[in-house]
Amino acid sequence: MQESSVVQEPAVPPVPPTPPVSLAALLSRDDLGLRQITGPPAADVTVHGAHTSEMSDPYPYLLGGELLLTAGVHVPDAAGAGTAYFDGYVARIVAAGGAALGFGVAPVHDTVPEALVAACEAYGLPLVEVPPRTTFSGVARAVWQLMARARLAELRRISEAQQGLAAAASRPDPVPSVLRRLAGRLEGRAVLYGPEGAEIAAAGREPGDEVRRALAELARFVTGRASSTATDTVAGTRLAVYALGTGQGFVLGVAAPHRESGDHTIASVAAVLLSLLTGEHQSGTGAARSSALVRLLLGAGREEVAPLLSGGAVTRWYVVHARPDTGTPDAVSASALGAALGSPLVDAADDVVRVLVPAAPQAEGGANSQPGWTIGVSAPVAPAEWPAADAQAARALARARAVRAPLVRHAERPAFADLMPAGEAEAHARALLAPIGGVPALAETLRAWLSLHGSWDRTAVALSVHRNTVRQRVARCAALLEADLDDPDVRMELWFALRHL
């Protein structure tokens, strides 16, 4: 593929930026009574407008793509004896990019001249006979009516595509979802290329090797260049690439067997969404976050670095734990979740995404439920209490998964246990739970089991273990603690102790 083929299209007459209509649709109008005499099949001919002219040279008056209407007033009387005039006339129409010629058989001519038919056949120009009862203004009106319908259908298609792409971007796997939706809309292939040109994700029908290589080369062409888009045609497949506006070298590539009106708009919407999904959510400057990280590593306290993360206006924070309902979160879906929650402070580890969210007025409660995610939210805390809030969010997420709720918040309210000094409460808890203190899994299982009112199944879901494992662990706790776990007083005391452990 030569570079010139990427940046330049073949020299063709321009056509107006309007949705075309098929000549076949015009011929199917019974009220017009049009009849095609010669030329390519009407289904293969598109018309961008209608223009009436009796000039012997219509070239200067055509934009390209028109159905040119004439009654032959310009035809010299001697023209009927030869083909030179009609040959030159049709040649100029074709050179101007005319889509078809409509010839009215009244009032000047009783029939379509044979020499005109021969010339149109020679140049491959569709020739349509317009009967005496049909006015040229009626034909033009029919063309514009069909174009209006086509425009409405195009706008509806674009609107539906935009809604579908936006819905796909809100899923837990936003990038693959957007690519799948785009490929389905264009009936082709959609590919996201990384900064090094590697294929990160793709969806749709796999093209041939030639098309795949050409699309990857086209993507490399726009990387780092001033032009953000490029198109090409390879093996009958239309290729288009869009450099994403992240500044990180990501490129969206599209390969489709055909190109319909509105496809570029649909692909551009997908490119904008992918730019947001692949780019870092900016609620604070990267320099400030980098400074906060360096200070933490050098021993600064959380209270000192927190203003750098929030611009100095936030004093309390939420910790959010989230798990996708299906699959495992990747970096892009985690970033998208952070953007939805209003924070770029995201950590994706294993199957849980943690987000540190500033407790701003517009982020009431720390988070709202997100489609495709199960979420646990801590109480609002000062930076010094981030570790405790992290544990609260983890427990809230476990409970949300156990009760199959999309979101559970940690409830912070005064309790009887708070009446005991914290030091004494912790000492009592350690003494009471000492028999199981050396086995963290036992304490964790007992806490989850008590919080879920002794439900074996829900506890198994919360801990991601088998229900028999829960039974064995709880039985082991009862034996080591020498406690009757069916006694509500015992359960209450153990619950208070676990809260202070």
Q: Model confidence over 258-281: pLDDT tens digits?
A: 877 788 888 888 888 888 777 644
| 2-25 mean pLDDT | 56
**Same domain assignment for residues 26 and 137:** yes
Give the separation between CA 254 and CA 207, rounded to whole angstroms. Answer: 11
Last residue of a domain, one of 357, 389, 409: 409
**Residues 266 and 324 both lie in one domain:** no
> ∠ at Cα 273 (220, 181), nearest 5°?
90
Segment among 148-152, 299-303, 419-423 with least mean pLDDT: 419-423
State how many domains the chain has. 4
**Average pLDDT score over residue span 244-250:** 70
Predicted pLDDT at 420? 61
pLDDT tens column, 42-53: 999 999 999 999
Task: Please indicate, yes or no, whether residues 269 and 181 belong to a single structural domain of this protein.
Answer: yes
Identify whether residues 422 and 391 lie together within a single domain.
no
User: Omega of the bond prior to 131 within 30 degrees of 0, cis?
Assistant: no
- Rounded to whole angstroms, the Cα distance separating 444 from 474 reads 10
Residue-number span of the structural domain to which 225 is assigned = 170-278
Going by pLDDT thresholds of 50, 70 and 90, the confidence category of residue 107 is confident
Above 60 in pLDDT, residue 451? yes
Indicate whether 208 belongs to any domain. yes
Residue 3: inside a domain, yes or no?
Answer: no
Among 27-41, 311-325, 416-430, which range has the highest average pLDDT?
A: 27-41
Tell me which of 103-112, 168-177, 186-195, 394-403 is least confident. 168-177
73 Cβ neighbours under 8 A, 6+ residues apart: 54, 108
Q: How far from 435 is each of 439, 442, 497, CA to CA, in Å?
A: 9, 10, 13
92-96, 138-142, 223-227, 280-284: which range is least confident on average?
280-284
**Range of lowest pLDDT (17-26, 250-259, 458-467):** 17-26
Structural domain contains residue 152: no
- Both 141 and 27 in one domain: the answer is yes
Q: What pLDDT sits at residue 282?
A: 42
Q: Which of these three, 360, 378, 409, is where a domain ends?
A: 409
Distance (Å, rounded) from C-alpha 391 to C-alpha 383? 14
Looking at the domain assignment, is residue 157 inside a domain? no
Confidence band for 54, pLDDT divided at 50, 70 and 90: very high
| Residue 201, domain CATH | 3.30.450.30
Which sign, positive or negative, has the C-alpha torsion 367, 497, 480, 456?
negative
pLDDT > 70 fraction of the chain, expressed in percent and rounded: 87
Same domain, 32 and 131: yes
pLDDT value at residue 336: 74
121 located within any domain: yes
Task: With respect to residue 191, please indicate whether it lies within any of the assigned structural domains.
Answer: yes
User: In CATH, what number is assigned to the domain containing residue 427?
Assistant: 1.10.10.2840
Note whether 125 and 204 are same-domain residues.
no
Alpha helices in 8-135 (DSSP H): 23-27, 84-95, 114-123
**Coil/strand/helix, residue 36:** strand
Q: What is the pLDDT of residue 10?
A: 37
Last residue of a domain, one of 146, 181, 199: 146
Residues facing residue 128 across a β-bridge: 36, 102
User: Is the alpha carbon torsion for 360, 361, 365, 369 positive or negative?
Assistant: negative
Tell me, yes or no, whether 398 and 441 share the same domain: no
For the cut 60, the answer to whether the pLDDT of residue 397 exceeds it is: yes
Both 223 and 328 in a single domain? no
Q: Are residues 320 and 421 in the same domain?
A: no
**Helix (H) / strand (E) containing 373:** strand 373-377
- Residue 233, pLDDT > 80, answer yes
Decide if 195 is inside a domain.
yes
The pLDDT of residue 16 is 45
Q: What is the pTM of this model?
A: 0.47
User: Could you tell me which residue, 4 or 84, shows the higher pLDDT?
Assistant: 84
| CATH number of the structural domain spanning residue 117 | 3.40.1390.20
% of the chain residues with pLDDT over 90: 31
* Shared-domain flag, residues 36 and 139: yes
Q: Average of pLDDT values for 1-8?
A: 39
Regarding whether 196 and 112 lie in a shared domain, the answer is no
- Whether 70 has a pLDDT exceeding 50, the answer reads yes
Has residue 495 been placed in a domain?
yes
Identify the CA nearest to 333 among candidates 201, 174, 199. 174
Which pairs with CB-CB distance under 8 Å and at least 24 residues apart come from 177-184? Answer: 178/270, 178/273, 178/274, 178/277, 179/203, 179/204, 179/270, 180/204, 181/270, 182/254, 182/266, 182/267, 182/270
Q: What is the mean pLDDT of residues 292-310?
A: 76
Distance of CA 351 to the CA centre of its chain: 23
Q: Tokens 């129409």 sit at which residue?
A: 93
The helix or strand, by DSSP H or E, that contains position 392, with its residue range, turns out to be helix 386-403
- Cα 23 to its chain centre, rounded Å, is 35
Q: What pLDDT is stored for residue 472 in this prediction?
A: 92
Q: Is the pLDDT of residue 220 over 90?
A: no
